[in-house]
Each structure stands twice: as structure tokens, then as C-alpha cells.
Chains A and B, each alone.
Chain A
Amino acid sequence: MSELERLTERLTAALPPDAVLTDPVRLRTYECDGLTHHRATPGVVVLPETAEQVAAVVRLCGEHGVPFVARGSGTGLSGGALPRTDGVLIVTSRMRRILEIDIPNRRAVVEPGVTNLAITEAVRDRGYYYAPDPSSQQVCSIGGNVAENSGGAHCLKYGFTVNHVLSAEIVTPDGEIVELSAQDPGYDLLGAFIGSEGTLGIATKITVRLSRAPEVVTTLLAAFTGIEAGGRAVSAIIAAGVVPAAIEMMDALAIEAAEAAVHCRYPAGAGAVLVVELDGPHAEVEHQFAAVERICRDNGAFEIRVAASAEERAAIWKGRKSAFAAVGRISPAYIVQDGVVPRTALPRVLAGIDLLQEEYGIRVANVFHAGDGNLHPLVLFDDSVPGEAERAEAVSGRILDLCVEHGGSITGEHGVGVDKARYMPRMFTEDDLDTMQLVRCAFDPRGLANPGKVFPTPRLCGEVPGVRRGAHPLVEAGLAEQF
């Protein structure tokens, strides 16, 4: 009997009857997250309903030395929830109760499986909402948002998950239940935990901040002949001291795809469109709107549309929000990339991407959160053409190099996961990564929580820094992969 089989017997004894899945067909439905080209059938799947059950599973994993991976809705785009064939996948989808809504204190307490949008829907009538809005918000879970420190189109003004979570009950990799609170004195372990991609434990209860719905929201669509003019408008808006709730840009290829998919009817002939959303007190938005409209015209916008109603706003956003899926209409396959550059480097980086397209003969559609320099290049390829997938992969990697060269980041919101662990050394030195590893060792000295994610070759806890010789023990033990 293997270690996993022995563990499975104990999991079955410890959990409710239908909470342990071992049927290969059912296991296979969990073989990947939103990053579908990484697949691994989990050794066993558990569906706990309480924090105590999560803690019991984690403790048993520890006793058997078996790695575990947490998964929310499985919408992540970096393979952060990629299971391990020799491990346990802990799925939080049965923990989806909203436990408390506390309007006077602007907060809600939820279980990790609650979807992002469900929080907003629960408080919208009372004039509140949950601010982080990843584009998967209808299905993605708050637990996953905490793991990834998710952003969204509106994080330019309102920040990320970490700015909107007040406390979290977590199960540590030791199987202890601990409350991490922003209110407590001491180290900001909550801040370190959020965005740690499941490597420091599993959130089992999350208290989020609710935000007051703004008095006025104004959305504007501006069409430019090219992406350079759109980029100049973005810079001028920021220079004018305006902080919009969102500034999104799409290039001609992305517009073409969106048009084909959802008929968003963006202005004909546009080489780039800019979606600018302003929100806040009426008097302030009115003032800022006038400035933004003038700046767009001064920078060559040939058509400006203003949403006069919620329906018109939805129509403007429709094209942007559909863009990722829409490129499926114009290309058999594509890679969604996620990189960040300082806003002022956008023109240079976009020019660099143009050169890469020529060099590799690969098309790239550009969709990005222009306000914060977060690029989502969609690298298009035909997987039936030999070698094209590899060329697309190369372009995708070189785009990240461009981001790092210009002082940016290899990921703005999708996370490192399994997909980008090998790129971490391009952004961080060995000392930087070893220092992050100290946090990992404090929480998870045995490296059982989501191993193989985020860090390329984690140093063993207790291992003395220096030149590594021979095979890494974690690699030998099958707990890590060396890039």
C-alpha cells in the first residue's frame, strides 16, 4: 500500500462520506485550473465543509509526508492550483456560506468558496460593494483571490485583494487554525499570506472590507487611430492629476477579435480604443470628466462615446471583458500573458512586442490595464502548424524579459504559480528568493503546502546558503522541479 493510499484511508475515516474522491474519472475533472496546458490528475481530492476538516486533512498530510494543494473555483491563470499526482487536492467549493454582513462596520465574513461577485450581490442593495473585480469575478472564489492577491480593472484606484481583506482565519501547513488580523499588533502576517499562492496555508474564513458605492460612475470610450496616440492620452490623464477608477486599452487586433465574438460595435477604423471610467462624488467626477475628454481629443481621439446608462456602460465594457475569450474567434490557440511595466515605458515595450511579432512570425493582440502598466498580450498561434506553439511560447517569454528589462514585473495579477516559477530568477536574485524562502520555512518547514509553485528551486529549510552541489533533495524526493 502506498503512502497516499494509507493517507486516503484515514481521510475517508476523518471526513463526511462523500467528501473524499478517488474515482479516476472524477479526479480528472480537477486536473488543471484556468491554465489548461499544465495538467496532472490529483492523487486524491477532498471536499471539506469546515475549517476543522481542512485542518484535519492538512494534519494527516503532515503525518504521512504527502503534499497538498488548495483549489477554489479553479479559474487561476498560472497553474497555482495544479494538483500533484502524489498529493491531496483540497477543494473549498463546499465552503461557500456568507457568514456575516456587518454594514455599520463595512465588512463581511465569508467562507473561502464564496464567489467574488456574490459578496457584491449580497450588499449592493444597501449601497455597498466588494472592490476587487478580477474579470472572472462571477465564478472565482474569495479564497483563490486571497491566494493570488487578485486585482481587476479597478485596482488602479482601489487597490488589490490585500488592501480589502481585514482578517483571515487560516489553516497553517502544520494543521493549526490561526487568525491573522490587520487589527493586531505584531508582524503583518496577513499581508505576507495574501498573494502567497497557497504556499503558506489555506484560508478558511475571510473578513473583507465593503466599500461604499460611488455617487456617480462615468464611462467613456475613446477611439484613436493607433496605440501610440492612446498611450499619449493615458500619460496626459495621469499627468493632469486624475486617478480614474480604470483605464483600459485594446489594440486593433484585440478590437477585431472582440467585434467577431460579441459585436461590441467599437468605432470603425479604430487602431486602439481607450475605456476610461471615473467614479466618486458628482462634483468631482464632472470636473475630471471634462479634463479627460479634452485630453483624449487633444491626443487625437476621433470618436468619443459616453455611457449615459448602466446598459451603455455594460456595452462599452463588453468588448473589453470578452477580449481574452474572443481571440479564440481569430486564432485556433493563444497564450494569455500577464506582465507589468512602468507606465512611462509602455510605448517602448509595445514597440518591442511589435519587433517580436516580426521576428517570430507570431501575432500578438494587446489588451491592457493602461493606467497601471499591466499588459495582457494575447499571443496567437495555430497548434496544428508544427513549431508554432514553441514560437508562441518563446514570444511569450521574451515579452516578460521586456517587462523585467524596463523595470517591471513578470506578473501583475495572474500569479507565478507553476507557469512562471522559472522566470522568478530574472526578476529576483538568489538572495532575494532565499529571503522569501525564510517566510516559507517559518510557515511550512517541510515544504508540503503547494510545493513546486512560485519558487524555482526552493532551498531546504535549514540548508546553509552557498553553492549547491548534486541533485536538490526536494527534486530527488519528487517534491520540486528544477528549472
Chain B
Amino acid sequence: MAARDVGDALEAAGVAVRAAGDGDEVAGVRPRWVALPESAEEIAAVMRVCAAHDLAAVATGGGTKLHWGAPPDRCDVLVDLCCMNRPPEHAAGDLVVRAQAGVTVEALARALAEGGQELALDVPVPGTTVGGLLATGIAGPRRFRHGTARDLLIGVTVVLADGTIAKSGGKVVKNVAGYDLGKLFTGSYGTLGIIADATFRLHPLPAARAWVTATVERPVTETYGTWTNEDGLTFETLTTDLAGSLATMVPAVTESPLEPSAVEMDWPDAEGPCTVAVLVEGAAAAERAKALCALIGGALSDAQVTEEPPPWWGRLPEPPAPDGPPGPLGAGTGAGDGDGGEILLEVRNVPSRLAGSFVGPLTAAREAGVHAAVRGSLASHVFHVALPPDTEPRRVAAFTGGLRAHMETDGDGRVVVLAAPQEAARRLDRWGHVGALPLMRRVKERFDPDRRLSPGRFLGGI
């Protein structure tokens, strides 16, 4: 089939289309066309053309996480939803908003703030669109209080591989009519259909916010070994105390009747300081923050209340500098391929495994000879780990394997490689073992039997 036919067919369907260029690659795979639909009907037209010509399509919003997940098995058309960005329909009296998939979370937040409301998610990647937020299911600090996108999504319109436009849910928060397709599509990496618009429940902007921050100067654990501090104490003694005091302090904060909204940790370098920050929202936030400060001060020194978040708050960890001592695998530099070579992992566990989550990334990093930056939620026990972009592929694999060995021993831990250059990812399992995978495959087969939507991007080659 000639390239011109497809371009003509897309144009005939009334959809803006252009030839793909260098910047349009999906995890290293270059599509042939970029379609720019402006409505669900236009997405449907694109999908019908794809169906008629057996073309594979990948949807993109802000393109900020397009390199996440595995490269597609094939990608002919990039469906760029950037034009689907009409002003959101904000029904302030009903505390809901409906937004097209291409609206950025920043634009949405601005529109909602005018009505004194917010979508209570902290999306950690700037420029993320509503569609991208849902497709990856990414969340931030306040997941502890408000849950993630799946918990705040109340309605969705999707376009399936055959061009069918379907909706589920609606614009009321309380609604149990029919299956909740929104939940199924949240975190599905574009493999079931293309999200055209979404309706969320909102929260009033809190009357006030306050943060309590405290820094742990040397949170190195005993496994790191040989250090001695100024007072002549070995790190073994010091760090056991520290991990222990955090493991006591965090539940004291999260279970406190003062009801913090988030408890986060930033640990950019295993040999440097670690910062803990707690967010308090609502009436009397400052007063409650002061009380929490006293609680934290017992475990960590120099806890203080601030009106502004620390600069790292609600963002993914920056990769650490790649220098430092070589590990047991020997010295050497690797090469990233495209997308800046971002290497990002997500670690989940249950709160009682907190001490293990401190030790896990550190031990795995030491064993694999890499530097790891860790940031995330102490309250919900979800952390992101970043490695330097040029980390040697075999070290990335060794680190991931080591981390899984530490974290997945008790049945509750999960390690997912969100982003890694393909050269490194080939050596590892991005998603880990998932028992319900056969059932997930059956869902994919029903929604996209010809594998035309982001084929191969998701776990198990879905």
C-alpha cells in the first residue's frame, strides 16, 4: 500500500496529517505519519484508516513519557492529541471537570484554580496531558490522601482500534451503572484504546498548606560498611538507629490524628543527606504542622515548618552524577540510546517494609556498582529510583535484579522499570511477574484483536 494512499485517506477523513520526523520516535521506533485529530470522531476516523490498511498506532499527548515502556513492535501512525485541548468544562458547583485528552495538567490546574478547586493529584512530570496522566497512571505525594488517577476519574470517552467511540461512567461522582472502563484504561499504556476525554471529581483548594521538613545528614546504612562519623561512631551503629527511628517516626506521622496529606523522602545520593517532608493541608494547617514538627523532631534533628514545599517536592528524582567508585562488575561506561537515556524504576511495598526499602536500593546499587537517586512516598510506600543515563546496560540489569531480590521477597514488593534504554531493557524484565497476566492478555485480545494499538509496549508483550 502506497504511503500516499494512507496520507490521502487520513486527509480525506478530515484529519490533519504530516510526515513523521526525527522528533516523533516512540522509544526509538519511527512512525511514518503523525495524525493530529481534534475530536473523538477524528480519532475514530484515524483508527478506521489504520484498520483498513492494517497500520499500528501509538497515541501521544505531551510526549513526556513516550519513551516509557517497551518500544512498539510496529508503529505506523503517531496519534498526537495535542490539538485536543479545548478549555475544560468545569462544573464548580458539582465539583467535577471534563477535559479533553490533550489538555496539560498545568492548564487544567489553572482553569480549576479560578473556581477555587483542584484535581488532587500531583503529576510529577511537567507538561503531562490528561491522556498521558491516565495512560501511565502516574501519581505523586498526595496519593496517600486522595489516591491516584483511577480514584478520581469518574468518566471517560475512549476510541477503540476499530474506531468505535465508547464512554463509561459519567459526570456524577456516585455511579455504579455498567463496567468502569476508566479504571481499565488507567495505566494501560495506550494498548486498549485511545483516551479522548476524561471527567474527574475535584476537591476544593485547601484553605492553607504547610510543610514540615527535616534532613538526615548521613542516612547510610550498615551494609555500606566502613564509614566513621565525627564522633568516632561507625555507621553500622548509627544507621541501624536511623532506619529504626524512621520506621518508628513515619507511622507516628501517618497515623497521627493531625492527618497529613503526604510524607515524602528525597535521597539524591546514597552518601549524602536525605530529606523528609510532610504536607499538611486545610484549616489550621500551620498549627497542625507545628504539632507534627514536634513529633518528627523527636526522631530527626532540625525539623522546621515552611509555607513552601522543598524544591524537589512532587517531582521525579534527578539522575545522580555518574562518577564515583566502580563496583564489583568492573569499570566501564555504557551508552544510552535516544530519549536522553532516562533510567527510572518504581518500587512499591507495604509500610512495614520501610527499613528494607531504605536498604534495598542502596545495597542493589552498591552490588551493581551504580549510583541511584531515590525519591517518593514514605506514607504510601511508592518510590522512584533514577540511575545516571549513561549507566552501562549490564549494570542496569544487575541493579534491577538485585533490587527485585531485596524487594520482592515477601509478596508485597514490586519493582517496575518505567524507562530504560532498549539496550539495557533487553537484559531485564521491565514489569516483573504478574499472576493475572493471562487474564490481561484476554482483555487485550478482545479490545485489540489485531494488535494495532501500541503493540508490544506493555507487560507480557501486550
Contact = CB atoms under 8 A, between A and B. Distances in A.
Nearest to A369: B174
Interface in B42-96: 91-96
B3 interface: no
A343 B93 contact: yes
Interface in B418-462: 431-432, 434-437, 439-440, 442-447, 458-460
B435 A281 contact: no
B207 A241 contact: yes
B295 interface: no
A413 interface: yes
A343 B351 CA distance: 37
B384 interface: no
B436 A180 contact: yes
A186 B93 contact: no
Interface string B93-121: 11110000000000000000000100000
A101 interface: no
A162 to B, nearest CB: 7
A409 B175 contact: yes
Given A191-B183, A192-B184, A281-B288, A184 B172 contact: no
Nearest to A213: B257
B168 A436 contact: yes
Interface stretch (B30-38, B159-167, B357-365): B159-167
Interface string B376-407: 00000000000000000000000000000000
A416 B177 CA distance: 6
B284 A283 contact: yes
Contacts of B327: none
A389 B431 CA distance: 57
Contact of A151 (B96, B174, B184, B435): B174
B257 A214 contact: yes
Nearest to B192: A187
Interface in A48-75: none
B178 interface: yes
B426 to A, nearest CB: 19
B168 A342 contact: no
B307 interface: no
Contacts of B459: 185-186
Interface string A249-293: 000000000000000000000000000000011111011100000
A424 B178 CA distance: 8
Contacts of B187: 185-188
B287 interface: yes
A212 B255 contact: yes
A415 B446 CA distance: 25
Contact of A104 (B95, B177, B351): B351
A155 B174 CA distance: 8
Contacts of A408: 170, 172, 175
Contacts of B287: 283
B178 A149 contact: no
A317 interface: no
A238 B172 CA distance: 15
A188 B436 contact: no
A374 interface: yes
Given A104-B351, A344-B91, A439 B184 contact: yes
Contact of B446 (A105, A410, A442): A442
A325 B348 CA distance: 46
A239 interface: yes
B171 A415 contact: no
Contacts of A341: 172
Contacts of A105: 350-352, 412
B257 A281 contact: yes
B205 A241 contact: yes
B137 to A, nearest CB: 8
A215 interface: yes
Contacts of A111: none
A102 B411 CA distance: 15
Contacts, number: 242
Given A344-B91, A408-B172, A432 B167 contact: yes
Interface string A379-415: 0000000000000000000000000000111111111
A215 B282 CA distance: 15
A284 B282 contact: yes
Contacts of A162: 151, 180, 183
Interface residues on A, range: 35 or more
Contact of A188 (B178, B186, B282, B414): B186
Interface string A436-471: 101111110000000000100000010001000000
Contacts of B168: 428, 432, 435-436
A198 interface: no
Contact of B432 (A107, A185, A191): A185
A341 B96 CA distance: 12
Given A242-B204, A435-B160, A436-B168, A424 B95 contact: no
A436 B172 contact: no
Interface string B236-256: 000000000000000100010
A406 B174 CA distance: 14
B19 to A, nearest CB: 32
Contact of A187 (B94, B284, B440, B445): B440
B176 A195 contact: yes
A350 interface: no
Contact of B414 (A172, A184, A286): A184
Given A342-B172, A409-B175, A283 B443 contact: no
B51 to A, nearest CB: 13
Contacts of B175: 340, 408-409, 411-412
B172 A443 contact: no
Given A105-B352, A159-B147, A439-B443, A188 B184 contact: yes
Interface of B: 91-96, 116, 137, 147, 150-151, 158, 160, 164-168, 170-181, 183-184, 186-188, 192, 203-205, 207, 251, 255, 257-259, 282-284, 287-288, 348, 350-352, 412, 414, 416, 431-432, 434-437, 439-440, 442-447, 458-460
Given A179-B435, A424-B178, A435-B166, 10 more contacts: A187-B440, A214-B259, A242-B204, A284-B284, A287-B207, A373-B172, A412-B175, A420-B177, A438-B446, A439-B443
7 contacts: A187-B443, A212-B257, A212-B259, A241-B205, A283-B288, A415-B176, A465-B164
- The 4 closest A-B CB pairs, nearest first, are A191-B183, A283-B284, A241-B204, A215-B257
Interface of A: 102, 104-107, 127, 148-149, 151, 155, 159-160, 162-163, 172, 178-181, 183-189, 191-192, 194-196, 212, 214-215, 235, 238-239, 241-243, 280-284, 286-288, 340-344, 369, 372-374, 407-416, 420, 424, 427-429, 431-436, 438-443, 454, 461, 465
